[in-house]
A and B are shown apart, each in its own frame.
Chain A
Amino acid sequence: MDILVCARRVPDTSENEIALNSAQNDIERDDLVYSVNEPDNYAVEEALQIVQRTGGEVTVVTVGGEDDEEILRREMAMGANHGVLISDGAFMDADGKSIARILEAFVKKGHYDLILTGVQAEDGAAQVGGMLAALLDYPFASLVSSIEVLDGGKLKIGREIEGGNREINEIDLPCVLSIQTGINEPRYVGMRGIRQVASVPIPTLGASELGVVPEAPKVRRTGYFLPPAGKGAAMLSGNREEMASKLIEMLRAKGGLN
């Protein structure tokens, strides 16, 4: 089975402190550490595990610029067979749909049985997978937490729904799935692995090679701001002991303590 994983390089939100820059029009990007979007990493691991069972190759593609090559190398160090960078000045302001159209053009140039994306990236949009599926006219499922390959070009997948329940579906190949974190335990990629792929050439494709005519984005982010504190929390003050005492009083008042 040949699998394509669409990945993205994002600021690592768990350890970075996201703050606004001094001009208040973007986040402060100077000290940010970037890495591959976590759900995308799970998707690559899942793809690697599937081809280990079924045979085939894993390709990782990203839409971006030179800086984004590093995540392709990381995923190739993990075991992906190919990495492809799609880069063109005209793609700079791409919104979700534009990226989906770019990926659609790329998918049509090759042949993939299964396409995986991460469930969402740092913008929380969770849209590219579903859009890509609709453009390709492939069936789609989001929040996938388990994949079993069946005979006859089908998959049995589990989706994570509310209450911690799992929805089991059967889906026809080729299809697009967006992968949820926790589906597997991604293998470790050490410095040695990365060094070994450091000089592997990564093909870069532009708008003309793909035959994509860029369209003006119809969804635009016009500015970042810190949400107003609003009523927010009543912040306790004082040293630790004092705060603990105050909290206990409040808990008692709310009936949480007896």
Chain B
Amino acid sequence: MHILLFAGFLILALRAFALLIYGIDAKFIMPGGPIYGVVRDYAATVVFFVATAAAVRRIAFRPGRFGKDRSADAIFLLALIGLLMAADAVFEGARAAAQHEPVTFLSLSWMAKGALLHASAPWQRNFYLGAYLVHGLTFFFLLCYRPFGIQFHVETSLFSIYFAKLDRGQLKPVRWGVPDAHIDQVKSFGVKTFEDFTWKHMLDFYSCADCGRCSDQCPSNTVGRPLSPRLFTIKARNYCFQHYPVTGRTGNGEPLIGAIYSEDEIWSCTTCGACEAECPLLVEYIDKIVDLRRGLVDAGRVPQMLQKPLKALESRGNPFGKMEKKRAGWANGVAPVLNGNGNRAGTLYFVDSITSYDERIQSIGRATAKVLGRAGVDFGILGAAERDSGHDARRFGEEMLFMALRDYNTQAIRASGVSRIVTADPHAYNALKHDYRDVPPVEHISQTIAREVRSGKLRLQPLEDSAAVYTYHDPCYLGRHNQVFDDPREVLDAIPGLKRVEMSRCRDRSFCCGGGGLALFYEPKEEERMGVRRVRMAAGAGASVIVTACPFCMVNIEDAIKVAGMEGTMSAIDLVELVEQQTAGD
């Protein structure tokens, strides 16, 4: 529908200017005359009916996401557009009726001509002039009204898309143009008042077309958390309109959290990126949420349940508070520790915290090490010298803690002398790829495995259990954020006898498992767990096994299987564990 409205809008833009010129010189003939006339007539007709249909949809058949009272603005707009079309049609039709001119068949003008054909000449004239006036008034009114409604996106979107971030993987630094070394000079971290937003973010607020696709895709919104991306933007836009009117006093520096947002709303985001991927106007969300979190952290307003893991990250280098020296305890001899002297290797297996310390996830670590060995990769781990990648400390607003962890790890990685990094943790992968600088190139284990399967180094044996149906769940930080969709699927498809189905929400439309890193520690108010939703989607697709490639997804999904009571009918396995199972042992 929108394409028709938009295309019609472009075509009729010329018409609008032509009409203005008519008002001055009645004999003005549009260049491209009759052909344009026909196109224009059909365009106007289509626009009229589309606008009517859209209005009817808003009123009578509202899709869930349109929510409450956003409709008034939209319906008013659609009404104005319809009025413009109708006025134009009457204008044309009246003249055609009076002077017996031809008019495009079955167009709106044609209908108007038909209606006015038998009217008296004075009435035809009245309609002619009246329609012109109405059209003119409506046109100018709309021109002035546009910045105050969602129509503004027509103008601002041009700029907001032009100025959108090119490198989407890059998180906004605390302040653009301030290098890490000078960060202490920044007086206030993050966004606390509206004025703290960058101009680009403010432009985003104006450019939102209030379509709601973001909230539709947002997993937090779906499970009933206080966060709705659309409302996040619209509330900011309304705040902006309220505090920066055309005339009158501007601004007031009110803290946003409390005024328009709640703390819960801001902490509920899992940074999955579904909203950004879906937005037709490329509105950025993650940067804004992270900036708001930075503001909260700066003010000390961190929920108690997050304070403990953050403190543990600071004192122990992992959010669980476990001892540093036990970080390599999971290895059981399958992974050599690189210590620069005796032990060197070409590839570093970056394990990260959850795989190091969580008993269930440690098996993924061991499977990864074994598979790397079988693939003939010369690798090692940092062991007790490794710290948490800091990926989620950063996305939860603790920028300085992230920097401390990043610097520590960067030094350890460089000291180890490796030329390549591989990890099974998509959060670590994302951090090493985008947040870290000056470290060797990193790849995810699924990419390594896919390559070795293609080359024949890893031979995958046929599956014994042919009854099971597998489905692959795309982890947010592997799939959507880093576009790694095909390698894991290739690996699964290379296992003979493996039956695989796709969930309808897959690839970049994947549904977040519940969040990883520090999100595991945060308890929002919600109707249902994201993981439970996801597990039901898998069951709905006909699967009995969910394969995932992220330790946090594994924790959430296995948890969800228990909570949903699906223990006999659904199970979960990590891609690496499956590969380890299906390759020759040692």
Direct contact of A and B (CB under 8 A): yes
Q: Which A positions have Cβ atoms within 8 angstroms of B?
A: 12, 14-15, 17, 31, 33, 35, 78-79, 185-193, 195-196
| CB contact under 8 A between A191 and B404, given known A15-B312, A33-B316, A35-B315 | yes
Closest to B312 in A: A15
Closest to B397 in A: A190
Q: Hey, which chain B residues are within 8 Å of A188, CB to CB?
A: 297, 300-302, 306-307, 310
Q: Hey, which chain B residues are within 8 Å of A79, CB to CB?
A: 300
Do A187 and B398 have beta carbons less than 8 Å apart?
Answer: no
Count of B interface residues, CB-CB < 8 Å: 27
Q: Among A15, A78, A190, point to the contact of B297 (Cβ < 8 A).
A: A190
Q: Is B400 an interface residue (CB 8 A)?
A: yes
Q: Among B298, B304, B321, B325, point to the contact of A190 (Cβ < 8 A).
A: B298
The SS class assigned to the A binding surface is: loop
A186 to B323, CA, bound (A): 25
A140 to B518, CA, bound (A): 41
| Nearest-Cβ distance from residue B186 to partner chain A, whole angstroms | 9
Q: Hey, which chain A residues are within 8 Å of B314, CB to CB?
A: 191
| CB contact under 8 A between A187 and B399, given known A14-B321, A15-B316, A35-B315 | no
Q: Hey, which chain A residues are within 8 Å of B281, CB to CB?
A: none
A193 to B302, CA, bound (A): 13
A194 to B323, CA, bound (A): 23
| Nearest-Cβ distance from residue B6 to partner chain A, whole angstroms | 46
Q: Hey, which chain B residues are within 8 Å of A195, CB to CB?
A: 184, 400
Q: Hey, which chain B residues are within 8 Å of A15, CB to CB?
A: 312, 316, 321-322
Do A193 and B404 have beta carbons less than 8 Å apart?
Answer: no
Q: Hey, which chain A residues are within 8 Å of B323, CB to CB?
A: 17, 31
The SS class assigned to the B binding surface is: helix
Q: Hey, which chain B residues are within 8 Å of A189, CB to CB?
A: 300
A193 to B189, CA, bound (A): 11
Contact string, B286-315, partner A, CB cutoff 8 A, digits 1/0?
A: 000000000001111110101100111011
User: Apart from A186-B307, A188-B307, A190-B400, what are 17 other A-B pairs with CB-CB below 8 Å?
Assistant: A12-B321, A15-B316, A15-B322, A17-B323, A33-B315, A33-B316, A33-B321, A78-B300, A187-B302, A188-B302, A188-B306, A191-B314, A191-B398, A191-B400, A192-B297, A192-B400, A196-B184
23 contacts between A and B (CB under 8 A): A12-B315, A12-B321, A15-B312, A15-B316, A15-B321, A15-B322, A31-B323, A31-B325, A33-B316, A33-B321, A35-B311, A187-B300, A187-B301, A188-B300, A188-B302, A188-B306, A189-B300, A190-B300, A190-B401, A191-B404, A192-B298, A192-B399, A195-B184
Do B300 and A193 have beta carbons less than 8 Å apart?
Answer: yes
A189 to B307, CA, bound (A): 9
Closest to A79 in B: B300
Closest to A15 in B: B321
Among A33, A79, A191, A196, the one with the most B-chain Cβ atoms within 10 Å of its Cβ is A191
Do A185 and B316 have beta carbons less than 8 Å apart?
Answer: no
A31 to B327, CA, bound (A): 13
A15 to B309, CA, bound (A): 11
Contact string, B80-124, partner A, CB cutoff 8 A, digits 1/0?
A: 000000000000000000000000000000000000000000000
Q: Among A12, A33, A78, A192, point to the contact of B189 (Cβ < 8 A).
A: A192
| Nearest-Cβ distance from residue A39 to partner chain B, whole angstroms | 15
Do A190 and B398 have beta carbons less than 8 Å apart?
Answer: yes
A192 to B187, CA, bound (A): 11
Q: Hey, which chain A residues are within 8 Å of B315, CB to CB?
A: 12, 33, 35
A186 to B302, CA, bound (A): 9
Q: Hey, which chain B residues are within 8 Å of A196, CB to CB?
A: 184
A78 to B307, CA, bound (A): 13
A190 to B400, CA, bound (A): 8
Contact string, B400-416, partner A, CB cutoff 8 A, digits 1/0?
A: 11001000000000000
A27 to B521, CA, bound (A): 31
Q: Hey, which chain B residues are within 8 Å of A31, CB to CB?
A: 323-325
Do B304 and A185 have beta carbons less than 8 Å apart?
Answer: yes
| Nearest-Cβ distance from residue A199 to partner chain B, whole angstroms | 11
Closest to A45 in B: B300
- Residues of B394-444 at the interface with A, using a CB-CB cut-off of 8 Å, are 398-401, 404
A35 to B184, CA, bound (A): 24
A190 to B401, CA, bound (A): 8
A31 to B324, CA, bound (A): 9
Among A17, A188, A189, A196, the one with the most B-chain Cβ atoms within 10 Å of its Cβ is A188
A156 to B324, CA, bound (A): 45
Among A31, A33, A78, A79, the one with the most B-chain Cβ atoms within 10 Å of its Cβ is A33
Lowest 3 CB-CB distances: which A-B pairs, in order?
Answer: A187-B300, A188-B302, A15-B321
Contact string, B308-350, partner A, CB cutoff 8 A, digits 1/0?
A: 0011101110000111110000000000000000000000000
Q: Hey, which chain A residues are within 8 Å of B184, CB to CB?
A: 195-196
Closest to A48 in B: B300
Closest to B183 in A: A192
| Nearest-Cβ distance from residue B184 to partner chain A, whole angstroms | 7
A191 to B189, CA, bound (A): 12
Q: Hey, which chain A residues are within 8 Å of B297, CB to CB?
A: 188, 190, 192
Closest to B308 in A: A14
Closest to A14 in B: B321
A185 to B304, CA, bound (A): 7
Q: Among A17, A185, A187, A191, point to the contact of B401 (Cβ < 8 A).
A: A191
Q: Hey, which chain A residues are within 8 Å of B298, CB to CB?
A: 190, 192-193
- Residues of B125-151 at the interface with A, using a CB-CB cut-off of 8 Å, are none
A202 to B300, CA, bound (A): 23
A33 to B325, CA, bound (A): 13
| Nearest-Cβ distance from residue B97 to partner chain A, whole angstroms | 74
| Nearest-Cβ distance from residue A40 to partner chain B, whole angstroms | 15
| Nearest-Cβ distance from residue B75 to partner chain A, whole angstroms | 45
A17 to B399, CA, bound (A): 30
Q: Hey, which chain B residues are within 8 Å of A185, CB to CB?
A: 304
- Residues of B361-408 at the interface with A, using a CB-CB cut-off of 8 Å, are 398-401, 404
Among B322, B324, B400, the one with the most A-chain Cβ atoms within 10 Å of its Cβ is B400
| Nearest-Cβ distance from residue A186 to partner chain B, whole angstroms | 8
Q: Hey, which chain B residues are within 8 Å of A190, CB to CB?
A: 297-298, 300, 302, 310, 398, 400-401
| Nearest-Cβ distance from residue A241 to partner chain B, whole angstroms | 15
A167 to B331, CA, bound (A): 54
Closest to B404 in A: A191
